[in-house]
Amino acid sequence: MEKKINICDCTLRDGGYYTNWDFNEDTVNMYFNAMNDIPAITHLEIGYRSMPKNEYLGEYFYCPQYILKMAKDLCPNKEIAIMLNEKDTKIDDLDELLVPYKGYIDLVRTAVAPANLDRARILGKELKKRGFKVAFNFMYMSKWVTDISFIKKLNQLEGEVDYIYMVDSFGGVYPNDVKDALLTIKREVSIPIGFHGHNNMELGLANSLTAIESGCEIIDATITGMGRGAGNLKTELLLTSLNSKGLINIDFNKLNPVVAEFEKMQKQYQWGTSLPYMISGAYSLPQKDVMGWIAKRRFTTESIINALQNRKNHLSDNHEVPVFKSETDAKSVVIIGGGPNAQKHAHALKLFCKENPDTVLIHAGSRFVELFNELPNLQFYCLLGAEGYKLQKVLPKLNLHNVKCILEPSPRKMGTILPDQIISRTFELRKISFVNNYPDSLLTIAFQLSLDLNAYNVFLFGFDGYDMKTDEQMVEVSKENQVLIDEFIDSGSTLISLTPSNYHGFKTISIYSKL
């Protein structure tokens, strides 16, 4: 490691996957000032340049001119980089996306799937014509690292790109993989090589140091490792390591404040590796799915691991169960949610069920099954992912004689955890008919089951809704529930809530008015 190594800090671009590319202005100013004071960091990738999309994405997904100008003004001696998604970028878009900002953007990096090399070359040539430095970031390294035929194609890029990046998208490569790939690529091309390591297996530093030792010219890192899924190599860790070897000289007092600021954010967003991320990295499984499952807080770690194991073994699910067929229609169905009002008014629902023994209870979650287990009414437990794991904790207290368990139709990408005691009374739905592209949701199962039962009356009980002010992380789940409610009503079904609810679109009455 004798020659100078370039470090590209990608915090604002890669970290945007957690903040939706919005960052506090004071935090950004602190970040740029710190980066400007660290000579070892030569490049800053500050975000994407993108054509408009039909969803809200923040400042650093679009990097308007004022953002680019600010970055250049605060860090005049750094090369400012932006990222393009190759698959989403058309040649005709370049004059609008980039040309007016040529004085601010030095390097354009494009995320390229290896299969799209030929198409990406066309984009790369057009970027060079417009006077930009170009980097091709080849994703999914763990899948192409031993593909000699692909590596040999890289010599076609001579004179067309300024950097070829090895991107460990799954965080699953090892130091020997990095070394072998680098040596093989360098036999084919004279283009500088970069490395972008994810930290699923906590090998970001080891892989990056190996890359430097093997002739890599530029390394990516982010403050506190902030980045998609399990995150990346920590900038401060790389700087500390290189400093300890005498290869660079760092004033840690200039680095500490920005690290401390992003550590506060890490407590909120909780990036970093975990067992599910480790499994996804080890078997080159998409960590974007893991990130989504974790963010929703709907799935336990056991459920996520189960889903990853199913993918690893190419299984649609780990259980085969018969399709549910209703023997009789239901006059009334009460779908029980997990809100506090379900427990608060449980005594009233018990009275209602005793007076109406043909009422069917559908539990959209196992939280309150024990409260109503004494009732003789037919009851269904909706199970999804690891909901069976939660159910197992109360099974010894339950009388299951009038209970059936219902799963979503196969294939079930999250897999299913089923306690042995309930396998014989578990069924799957034939299909979901009331909504397209339905989310993995217990409410989806409950609504479809009520349709399959031909229920005349469908009541909600304990669907309080989430307080957006105090439980921001549940906003997405709340939005999904509202979509499902709207779709269910649009399908022609009548829906009434028997307890207070923050959801809308249906009538609310009092359970006590039914007694």
Q: 187, 214, 238: which is closest to 3 by C-alpha?
A: 214
Within 10 angstroms of residue 215's Cβ, the number of other Cβ atoms is 15
For 28, 214, 216, 247, 452, the CA distances from 3, given in Å and listed in that order, are 31, 11, 10, 9, 69
Closest CA to 391 of 373, 425, 367, 409: 367
Sign of the alpha-carbon torsion through 233, 171, 13, 186 = positive
Distance between CA 189 and CA 200 in Å, rounded?
A: 29
Kindly tell me if the per-residue pLDDT of 325 is higher than 50.
yes
Span 173-179, mean pLDDT?
94
User: Helix-strand-coil percent breakdown of the chain, rounded to 5?
Assistant: 45, 15, 40
Burial of residue 134, with CB atoms counted within 10 A of its CB: 0-12 exposed, 13-18 middle, 19 or more buried: buried
Q: What tens digit of pLDDT does each residue of 455-497 get? A: 999 999 999 987 655 455 567 778 889 999 999 999 999 999 9
Nearest-5° Cα angle at 124, 145 to 76: 100
Rounded Cα distance between 131 and 125, Å, is 10
Q: Are 277 and 371 in contact (CB under 8 A)?
A: no
Which of 133, 136, 99 is CA-nearest to residue 118? Answer: 136
Query: What are 401-430's pLDDT values in tens digits?
Result: 899 999 999 877 666 778 888 889 999 999
What would the two tokens of residue 57 be?
A: 């994405």
Written as six digits, the tokens of 445 are 């199962």
pLDDT of residue 24: 94
Of the two residues 85 and 438, the one the predictor is more confident about is 85
Two structure tokens written together for 121:
């070359």
Residue recorded with tokens 């990406």: 120
Cβ atoms of 378 and 363 closer than 8 Å: no
Per-residue pLDDT at 425 = 92
Reduced to 3 states (helix: H, G, I; strand: E, B; else coil), residue 215 is coil
* Mean pLDDT calculated for residue range 147-175: 93
Concatenating the DSSP letter of every residue in 51-86 gives ---SS---HHHH--HHHHHHHHHH-TTSEEEEEEEG
